[in-house]
Chains A and B, each alone.
Chain A
């Protein structure tokens, strides 16, 4: 794998740090007028999601991480693994529960997801920003109450539970923002 010098550092560059792949989320060049130059870098550990702050002497090199992000279609889950397909190559990838930890409650099949591959194996999966899912269980809707606040829990077909306004009925289709986990609106198929 290639190595990268600090002067090649930029946002999104993937590097190896203590055996884990990390992505640069902030890079600041610091240099006292009469002193050593540094790069102060914030990195996200792509395995744990933790953000680390590190400082390198300018001119040093780090090993790159073989990480790529590809758009793939979610196919199915066999109870143990989640399967995705790269629609350009038709190659299939299986992701374990850890990789889909955030995504699994929003996907039921056929969604286009962004799969992050590390050494060609799925490391994490990001669901589409918006998904449309059907309610499988919620209290009956309260008519007329469209403007006032108040909400109730609703269980979706994927098992996720979201807060919805009181007027929503069971078996309705909802548009959900997966980044916040919040109800956006009613939806049509």
Chain B
């Protein structure tokens, strides 16, 4: 029997209109700055190697294809081809992510600025926030947030201290992994701390969380990466883009080793992306903004499923 109310969208008409308004504002903001809109494929031969991001696969005859988890690789190939600063509003896909702040398919604004460093890009993010009616965030380093909430320096803390702290806060896994333990304390304690500014850019993450960001030349335990948090929810992630193809290759190989060790899927390395870096990616900073979460903030909703017109399992 068909449930006669199930055809209805999850989002209210008001939220559907609010999304349209937000996209219009973003496009106008980008146009004012001569950042051009691009459109790259969702479906491709390659995907990220990051062991913490799971791609969705698609079978096409005898080929295994992937739905992109972010438009990053293709957009950087465009930068290397000489487009200048670019942006894209794209649907992206991540397997195994489901909750009040996570959906397998979500909408991302991603933009790249040639000859910007990450601090300039933070400033531009703040301009965009003001443009759409949000408050100017405070800024703190990753280390400062840990010092203020947990009284430790996350860059030099030892394993035993970290494990002890984690178990105090209900961590149930016997883990030796520094990245995991820091991630747990960061998401469960640090960003939930109401004494921190509730609109906050956190920057200079530990090297193990660099992803495709550059490391600080005078302090290589720190990566030149930042994130925007509003009410404890991660909204945006940006960084100085790694442009050295050798170091990029090493990070790919490191990721794949971690994947092998954990018995995870091993995607093929994207040599077209590496070749683009080889030919010369201009110095740039890039950022991804979760638009569904941004809409949650703008409309005061605490469940992402009320923001999307339809969800994966009812469309």
Contact = CB atoms under 8 A, between A and B. Distances in A.
A50 to B, nearest CB: 13
Given A32-B187, A33-B237, A58 B180 contact: no
Nearest to B54: A37
Contacts of A37: 52, 96-97
A56 B183 CA distance: 12
B194 interface: no
Nearest to A39: B99
Question: Which size class do A's interface residues fall under?
Answer: 20 to 34
Contact of A60 (B173, B184, B186): B173
B227 A33 contact: yes
Interface string A107-148: 000000000000000000000000000000000000000000
B98 A57 contact: no
A36 B170 contact: no
Interface residues of B, number: 30
Contacts of B288: 33
A28 B183 contact: no
A28 B99 contact: yes
Contacts of A57: 173, 175, 180
A119 to B, nearest CB: 23
A29 B98 contact: yes
B209 A34 contact: yes
B52 A34 contact: yes
A101 interface: no
B230 interface: no
B297 to A, nearest CB: 16
A60 B174 CA distance: 11
A59 B102 CA distance: 16
B170 A31 contact: no
B234 interface: yes
A163 to B, nearest CB: 38
A188 interface: no
Interface string A2-35: 0000010000000000000000000011111111
B298 interface: no
B246 interface: no
B100 interface: yes
A93 interface: no
B169 interface: yes
B100 A28 contact: yes
B248 to A, nearest CB: 16
B211 A34 contact: yes
Given A36-B180, A37-B52, A55-B171, A31 B97 contact: yes
A138 to B, nearest CB: 47
B211 A55 contact: no
Interface string A29-68: 1111111111010000000000011111111100000000
Given A34-B209, A37-B52, A53-B170, 20 more contacts: A29-B99, A30-B101, A31-B52, A32-B52, A32-B234, A33-B227, A33-B234, A34-B50, A34-B53, A34-B211, A35-B179, A35-B180, A35-B186, A35-B209, A36-B52, A37-B97, A38-B184, A54-B172, A55-B170, A60-B172
